[in-house]
Structure 1
Amino acid sequence: MTIGLASWLLNLCTLLVISLPAFILLFWILFLKRGSRLHWWLLPIIIGVLVSSLYAGRFISTRFDESLQGKDLDIVGYIASLPVANGTVTRFDFDVDSPEVGQNESGQYPKKVRLNWYEAPELKVGEYWRMTVRLRQPHGFASAGAFDYEAWLLRQAIQATGYVRSGSLLSGRDLWKYPVHQLRTQLREWLEKTVSPENTGVLTALLLGDKSVITDKQWRMFNETGTTHLMVISGLHIGLMAWLGFSLASLMGRVGVLPLRRFPLPLIKALAGMLFALCYALLAGFSIPVQRALVMTFAALLSPLFGIRASPLTLWLLALAGVLVMDPLAVTSQGFWYSFIAVAALLFGMAGRQGGQHWRIKAFKPQWLVFLLLMPLLLVNGQPVSPFSPLVNLVAIPFIGFGVVPLLLFSALLQFVLPDIASFMLLGVDSLMNAFQWFLQWVSDFMLLIPSRQSADWPAILLAMMGMLLLISPVALRLRWLSPVLLLPLIFPEQHLLPAGQAEVTVLDVGQGLSVLIKTHQHLLVYDTGDRFSERLSAADSVILPVLLLSGVARIDRIMISHGDKDHSGGLLPLLSRYDGTSVISGTDLPQYDGKLAQCMVGDQWQWDGVDFQVLSGGGFRRSNDASCVLKITAGSESILLPGDISERVERHLLDQGSDLESDVLLAAHHGSRFSSSPEFLNSVRPEVVIFSAGFANRFGHPAPETVKRFQKVGAQVYNTASDGSLSLVLGRGNLMVSAYRKKHTHYWWR
């Protein structure tokens, strides 16, 4: 503890020295009369910069020591979150309780880690375990459109991730440890035992904020009907809880069971509303929309008690500041922007006189306002949008907000005192959810979906937002006719096409696996599709599809799978589900794929838009790796060689055949294994650039140090997706330049 406090103080002192000019400016603002009037707007900016800087400095000082990666560490501590089982893997957070275990030279050790345990025993929150683990620094996919996993882990205060090699239970659940998680565990088990399997995930999301059990089919249905927001606990749910607490206190005050002589009724009602909202927020996991709603609810309930008449805009700004003070990295979350923009749309569009409007207009207008302002953001983030979703929400919001959620919460409360009655009520809620999902499934067949526009650039998005603001403005502006004009850049985005004779090659960061996109003037080839990490997640879902949608790709002309190993073919099915009908070529049979499949053969070649593609090897070998499709792509005088996972045996075979191997860029075979990329092979290829596609701190040790040395010996520039992220280059321009995503989009929370 002493070491940690000293580190924090040292970090604070360093920050003060670095920020000395900002502090001088701050004091000038506070104490100089002229400055205090003219420049007060600088004060919140300076405070925000200092808070964010302190947050960043604290993170850097507690980063997990890289020298401990890949080593067996013995740690002792508590299960600190609800364990989530996905197939044979169980994921959970672990609070390390032993400072002497896992320390590095500076005295720091990871205090909170996220672990995976294969074929784990039954785990409970609050259990005390001794585990042998292997840890690594947090690391996510660095690619366009990919989820920023490292920022998310930092927001959860998780300092390292890893997996359990072995473990032994030291003591059972400590009922006083993590009481909220204990309660959440008990309620989740109650839901799993009582409701039907198809509603377990939805009701768990509504009660506990845990969306991990909702199926992919259900998510598609919610997305298509525009009701996804109902499954994310936010302002609607928190406001409902505050209203319930407020109303209950009012009712108790009327019947005379409250000590109104000592405490005024308005204070009791406000505190009751805040208590109900806070309890529900803690139960739901305290997400960003919940934080925003909680801050606004607290301010709205307390302001009248202190004689403060805060405007809605003031409450909105207060919530914005409160969320960012608690979590400066909230800006990296899409939910942050959706949540605050939706509330801003309501505040802006509902301003002015509302008394003369019909009740139908009053009921429909909030849905329409939020839909209009969020539509551009949803479209560019790949979310399906339908103009009928506001109509669906007219039914869905009251049904869930005033029907399902209150009954669900009341039955959850009752199950601690009257479990039989609570279970009976929960069965009624289960029936309501069956009817609700039937209704959504029925209307989803009639929803007219607007195609996504992820390829739109920021000017087009901003113009579209301005157009929507003109539409929802409460003032009858004569400029509303400009709205359709401002939407045109989003509806018809500018197409950025390569000139004929050039090829853009992108080696995607898909972890320990491989996926390469080759784009010409009018064609696209996907070479390998990365790994499948679980039943619900693959490299295609996490990396490939976001990149394709962000680029505005409408079709894939061909998918070439080098061979059937999972780290090369695992994303094929999710990719085909989005781009159905694409032809597939492979060097081997593909597990779990029973569609039409052609085998790559030596001598296969074709030309797209002046770019030549030639298969140098494929099939004919007993080992799956050696049967990889070896593809050479040539644009102008520049070329790249994609050898899959071939070994030295196939390399010798290619040399004996006299294949034209010389290439400017080489994708290292088998992720840089020591059994590939022989000196003779490299002397024949003579690459200027070598790219390794490998996972960060992978258990295979790829790329092997001796293999890297062989590439350095021939004078090649070496890149690695594990450290550089996705890598892009253009063949045929005459000036070969490699763009690394992690270097182009650097953030302090990235390693």
Structure 2
Amino acid sequence: MDGVRRPLVPLILAFLLGIVAARLLQLPTLVWFLAGLVAAGLTLLSAAYHRLRVAGILLLLLFFSLGAGRLGVESHLLPPHHIDHLPEEVLEQPLLIEGVVASPNDPLAGGDREIESEAGRVRVLLDLRTIWLAGREIEVTGRVRLTLLHPEFVPAYGERIRGQFKLRQPRGYGNPGGFDYPLYLRSQGVTLEGWAGKGDTIERRGTGEGNPLLTWAYTLRNRMIRAVNGLLPPDQASLLVALTLGARSDIPRQTTEAFQASGTYHILAISGLNVSILAGALFFLLKAVRVPLRPSALLSMGLITFYAALAGGSVSVVRAAVMADVYLLGLVLDREADSFNTLALSALGLLLWQPLFLFDVGFQLTFVATGAILVAVDRVPLISLPPPWRWAVTPVVLSVAAFFGTAPILASTFYRISPVGILANLPIVPLSGLLTGAGMLFAVLATVIPRSIGWFATLIGLLIDLLVNLAGWFARVPFASVTIFPPSVPMVVCYYLALGAWIAVAWRRWLRWMACVATLALAILVSARMFPIFQNGQVRMTVLDVGQGDGIVLELPGKRTILIDGGGLFDDRFDIGEQVVVPFLLSRWIGRVDLMVLTHPHADHLNGLQAVLRRFPVGQVWDSGQRAAMPAYLWLEETLRYRRIPHKILHDGYRTSEFAPVQIAVLHPANPMPHDSPRGHFSDVNSNSLVLTVRYGKATLLLPGDIEQEAEGLLLEQGADLQAQVLKVPHHGGRTSSSEPFLARVQPKIAIVSAGYRNRFRHPHQETLDRYRATAIDLYRTDRDGAVTVTSDGNTVEVATFRQPGRQLWQGSRQP
């Protein structure tokens, strides 16, 4: 019945399933095109013979094919001179480019942010017009995300600029469970990213090349932001411009964390809530002056569209504006708008425009939360309650519906849910709505009559402080935010089947059985991942893609975990531990690190361990004893003392069977440690890395940290048992490691380089690669292959990479 009354709902579901299928199967577009033609023909034929049920099924297949075909045809829509066709080798050297600034927004993962200047960094989107290759001028199209370090000016929308930039294809970190940064940028229309350093010349080549309406909107937006910043303290101003104008770059970190932990972070992003409030306010004002319904809807559509531009034109704002405009269009056409059909039509329009939106978490949360709320309104008899009870119960029902509807998405994406959000949203959402309306009026008045609204600024400040304090209070409630393992696709399917069946169980008796079966299946799937009795008795080593650094996760029989180094940057621009290592551990359903190993105290091995210590219980820590007067190491020592985590300083000769049947031995460093590298102290620290061998049955893994040739020579002189089937290449493949005698002693079948893509050290060095190729060793690289996973049952070894399927490479014959 619902399918007849709401025909767009099943059709859009078939359409988005087609997009998912095209993403997974990678079939030629022609296949989907032909399937669509066949489905269309059979649909018409079935309808002609009044086989309406068959026609309905075939219509779903048609929309399924259309969705798959829409994604498949995306790459074919690019013109021949699009920058997506540039070969990778062209990007190895800086290029002179020219283009027009396309938006004041920076499409960063996790939020839509304005053009910003953080510690001298300015980010813009540039629509390319020209590049110069080998002195030859070439006209191109395509969008680039540029980061400018300490520029002499901040480029404005519609301004043409020219400069020398280092360009590259977006890479992100290639790990299971990680954020797909390249896919995110591609969904925003961004093909390349680039940088210009301090002192690099960037020229203005013209202005006024953007859309005049957008130019005016962005100019007004900047004036309003400046006016608000001039009347409110920085913390209050940053929150207000986030709520009203979509600029979130300057919100204090503690404020952001409070909203995240309280489950109310969504109010900081302009979305359907803000647009709905604006539309409601516009309707109220127009009704007050007795404007007819249709002109009111048309005028509201125009103002909402302009507001989308004023708020920065980010994807989330446009998405909300499209949903509101579709509803208003129904009023203009004098049609009774069904909310489910309106939601489905909005989704269809957006996915036709850009099918990759389907994989954007903002898109998913917006439509799933709205759909869950509509289901609650449709199924729960709220209208039958007397007014006082209805006013009290309705917000609770809607909050519960949104929470349970979006829980799998939040768990899959952010690895946490906030149960307290059910209660926190009750006061915070209305208050944020009031702030959105009042804040927009305040921003307008601050731009026009800034000296006459001091009282208004005080009132707005009090409301902002109340909002922040409420979020902070809810965030401090015990178990406000709960870390959770990401559900698999079968788990998500069972969850939504069970949820939907339990909701509808009163209408269909057979749904009771379906609800029970789906709930039982979900419980079985969760138990199989949680408990070690379901494990297969294998050792699994994953060399993570942490950029330029090391991060290795060993998963042992009995659901025990060892983390060897955690990656890290040499500054605090990005937390490798929080953004890369922790998500991987959670994606593997790892809730405890039994052993953490720091091979040596360099930032690219140490810094990522801090997030792991904050987020996980840790059984013990091994270290080579090289103390370092750096904040990360001092924090590590203090944390271990405070939490009473055993901290062992180890040297060569140490062996342990505490992880039986896995045997671990320390081969290096010696005691006392050598300090005789001609390359200085940095190399001495590298060469005194902990060197471990991990044996499981007939398979041996050699993990030498960053040792250089001096340590390799010492190991050879001592006659250490280095033979191993799998070698983690020392020092990221640097030329001062992996000497020929060392490789001859190890005799690895498989070698894995952990290095950053196009890193500043140029690791791995060519001469090192030549030494590995000369010995016919299978070489894998995290900068190209992403995370490399080695799995062994003690007899055979299999290797799989993030970007390639696994294959069996070696069968053991060496006795343990």
Shorter-chain TM-score range: 0.7 to 0.9
Pick from 254, 257, 263 the counterpart of residue 226 of structure 1.
263
Farther off after superposition, 390-399 or 53-62:
53-62
Give the one of 485, 500, 516 matched to 1:454. Answer: 485
Distance in 1 (CA, whole Å) between partners of 2:445 and 2:123 is 30
Query: Among 468, 471, 478, which residue is 1:440 paired with?
Result: 471
C-alpha contact 2:39 2:59 (8 A) present in aligned 1: no
SS at match of 2:289: helix
Give the CA deviation at 1:158: 1.6
Q: Give the 5 Å matches for 1:196-207.
A: 196-207=233-244
Q: What SS does the aligned partner of 1:350 have?
A: helix
Q: What is the SS of the residue equivalent to 2:448?
A: coil
The CA distance in 2 between the partners of 1:574 and 1:611, in whole Å, is 27
With 353-362 and 324-333 compared, the bigger mean Cα shift is at: 353-362
Counterpart of 1:342 in structure 2 is 369
> Displacement of 1:476 after TM fit?
6.1
Q: Residues 457-502 of structure 1: CA distance to partner in whole angstroms, max 9, x if unpaired? A: 3333332323333454494666668497576457756336486974
Which residue in 1 is equivalent to 2:9? none
Deviations 1:124-167 (A, max 9, x none): 42454432211111211121221110011112222211221443
Aligned-pair identity in percent equals 25
Gaps of 5+ in 2: 1-26, 105-113, 638-646, 676-680, 807-816
8 Å contact from structure 1 (residues 225, 386) kept in 2: yes
Corresponding residue of 1:55: 74
For residue 694 of structure 2, what is the amino acid of its counterpart? I
Corresponding residue number in structure 2 for 1:70: 92
Q: Indicate how the Cα distance of structure 1 residues 672 and 387 shifts in structure 2: closer, same or farther if over 3 A, else same.
A: closer
- CA deviation profile, 1:250-294 (whole Å, cap 9, x unmatched): 23346xxxxxxxxxx222200122123222322334455544433
> For 2:63, which of 39, 44, 47 is the aligned residue?
44
Is the CA contact (8 Å cut-off) linking 1:455 and 1:493 kept in structure 2?
no
Does the C-alpha gap of structure 1 residues 342 and 499 become closer, same or farther in structure 2, counting only changes over 3 Å? closer
Please state if 1:516 is matched with 2:567: no
Does 1:375 find its partner at 2:375? Answer: no
Match of 2:796, SS?
A: coil
**CA offsets per residue over residues 591-645 of structure 1, 9 Å max, x none?**
2132426544222332313212222223543432222222221111111112222
Matched, 1:505 2:541: yes
The one-letter amino acid paired with 2:664 is F
1:142 aligns with 2:174: yes
Distance 1:373 1:629, change over 3 A: same
Match of 1:356 in 2: 384
Which residue in the other structure is 1:123 paired with?
A: 154
Report the Cα distance in structure 1 between the residues aligned to 2:315 and 2:596, rounded to whole angstroms.
39
Equivalence map 1:391-470=2 (5 Å)? 391-401=423-433, 403-421=434-452, 425-449=456-480, 451-454=482-485, 456-470=487-501
**Paired AA for residue 119 in structure 2:** G
Deviation at 1:515, TM superposition (A): 0.6
CA–CA separation in structure 2 for the residues paired with 1:35 and 1:706: 71
Q: Does 661-670 or 645-654 show the bigger shift?
A: 645-654
The one of 636, 644, 660 equivalent to 1:609 is 660
Following TM superposition, by how much is the alpha carbon of 1:107 offset from its aligned partner in structure 2, in angstroms? 5.5
Secondary structure of 1:41's counterpart equals: helix
**Deviation readout 1:43-81 (Å, 9 max, x if unpaired):** 433332332222133469631321222202122334443
**Corresponding residue for residue 774 of structure 2:** 713
Residues 2-27 of structure 1 deviation map (CA, whole Å, 9 limit, x = unaligned): xxxxxxxxxxxx99867663464377
The CA distance in 2 between the partners of 1:35 and 1:534, in whole Å, is 68
1:25 aligns with 2:62: no
1:211 corresponds to which of 234, 245, 248: 248
Partner of 1:589: 627
What residue is the counterpart of 1:83 in the other structure?
Answer: 115
Q: Equivalent residue for 2:812?
A: none
8 Å Cα contact 2:413-2:486 kept in structure 1: no
Q: Secondary structure at the match of 1:736?
A: strand
**CA separation of 1:120/1:534 partners in 2, compared to 1, >3 Å: closer, same or farther?**
farther
TM-score scaled to structure 1, two decimals?
A: 0.87
Rounded to whole Å, the distance in 1 between the matches of 2:525 and 2:798 is 31
Q: CA deviation at 1:218?
A: 2.6
Q: Distance in 2 between matches of 1:486 and 1:423?
A: 60
The count of corresponding residues between Structure 1 and Structure 2 is 720
Distance in 1 separating the partners of 2:308 and 2:528? 41
- Post-superposition CA distance 1:166-208 (Å, at most 9, x none): 4335349846746244444444444444433333443232123
* Counterpart-to-counterpart distance in 1, 2:702 and 2:120: 37
Q: Secondary structure at the match of 1:700?
A: coil
Change (3 A) 1:316 1:87: same
Q: Please say if residues 227 and 450 of structure 2, whose CA atoms lie closer than 8 Å, have aligned partners that are also in contact.
A: no
- Show the counterpart of 1:494: 529
* Equivalent-residue separation in structure 1 for 2:689 and 2:79 (angstroms): 42
User: Contact (CA 8 Å) 2:297, 2:331: kept in 1 or not?
Assistant: no
- The amino acid across from 2:201 in the alignment is S
Moved more, 103-112 or 130-139: 103-112
Tell me the SS of whatever aligns to 1:494: helix
- Asked if the contact 2:144/2:190 (under 8 Å) is kept, the reply is yes
Q: Which amino acid aligns with 1:47?
A: L
Q: Partners in 2 of 1:123 and 1:283 — Cα distance?
A: 19
Distance 2:417 2:686 in 1: 43
Which of the residues 730, 733, 741 maps onto 2:791? 730
Q: Which residue of 1 aligns with 2:589?
A: 552
Deviation at 1:30, TM superposition (A): 8.2
Deviation at 1:688, TM superposition (A): 0.4
Unaligned stretches of 5+ in structure 1? Answer: 1-13, 255-264, 746-751
356-365 or 405-414, larger mean C-alpha shift:
356-365
